Amino acid sequence: MSSREVIVLNVGGVRFVTRASTLQQFPESRLARMVHDNDREFKLDNGEFFVDRDGALFSYIMDFLRTLQVSLPTDFSDYQRLQREAEFYGLYPLADLLSQEHLLKPRLEILEVRFSLQEMQTFFRIFGSCSTTIEALAGQITVFTGQQSGQGWNSPFPSQKPLVPLPLERPSHHDLVFLCGIEYSAGDQFMARYVSVKPDNRKLINGTNVLGLLLDTLLKDGFRLTSTRTVASEEKVECYTFERMKRAAGLAIMVNQTTGSSGVAQARRSQVQKGK
C-alpha cells in the first residue's frame, strides 16, 4: 500500500484523486495511516478507499493538505462541522485554526467617498476601513496640474504643454484627499488640475465626471453602494458609502520535521496575507 503514488478516495460518494505524499503531510493523521492500511474506518473497495463522511467538506480538507493554507469562501459558515471533520481525520492543526473563527471569517469593509463642488473646483476625500484598499486606490488615482489657455471646464489642454503629476494628500493610512478643476485664472491663462483613475487613461477636469468614473471603478472592484446623503447642504458636500465583504487573511500551517520526534509533524500558525 505504501508504494502507491496515486490514491483514490470515495468520501460520501464524492471521488477524490491525490498523491500518497499529500495525505501523509501529517504523519500521525488517520489519512496518513490509511495509506499504510492501518485504519479500519477506511475500507478499500475496487482500488478506492471509501469513508462514510461528508464529501463536500472533505474538499476543503484536501485543499488544505495540498496548500497547507486555510482559505474558505466568503459565504462559508460551517466552521464547526468542518472542525469536526478535521478532528475525525486527525488533522488537529487544522481543527485548531477552525476553532478560531474570528481569524477566518470575512470582514465587512466600508468605504466612504465625499464629494464637494465649490465654484470651479471639486474636492474629494476617500476614507476606508481597510488601509490596503486605500493604498491600492492611491496607486490608481493620479492628479496632474499645468497652466492652460481657454475658459471653462471643457477646455482641452494642449499636448505641447505636458502636465505635471502631483502627489495625493494622505492625512492617514485610512484616507486620501485630492481636488480637480481650475485653481485660479489670470486673463485667458489658468492653473488646472486633471484626475486620472486607472485603468481608464483619460485625464478629467470636470469633478462630476471624475466622481462617476471613481464610483464605477469601485463597483467593478466588488463594492456595492449602500447609501447616498448630503452631509452639508450649504457647502454641497455629498457622501457616498460603499460596502463589500473582504476575504480574511489566508492562514498557513508550517510543517517542520524535527529529529527525535519520531517523524511527527510540528505545526505552527502564521499569517500569509496581512491587511488591516
pLDDT band at 186 (very low <50, low <70, confident <90, very high): low
| Contact status, residue 62 vs residue 50, Cβ threshold 8 Å | no
Q: Domains of the chain (ranges plus CATH)?
A: 6-104 (3.30.710.10), 108-246 (no CATH)
pLDDT band at 2 (very low <50, low <70, confident <90, very high): very low
Selection from 16-30, 32-46, 60-74, 230-244 with the highest mean pLDDT: 16-30
Asked if pLDDT for residue 93 goes beyond 50, the answer is yes
For residue 216, the model assigns a pLDDT of 95
Dist CA 209 CA 124 (whole Å): 12
Residue 88 has, within 13 A of its CA and on its CB side, a CA count of: 16
Angular region, 236: left φ>0, alpha ψ -120 to 50, beta rest:
left
For residue 98, the model assigns a pLDDT of 87
> At 82, which helix (H) or strand (E)?
helix 79-88
The label of the residue with cell 461528508 reads 54
pTM, 2 dp? 0.59
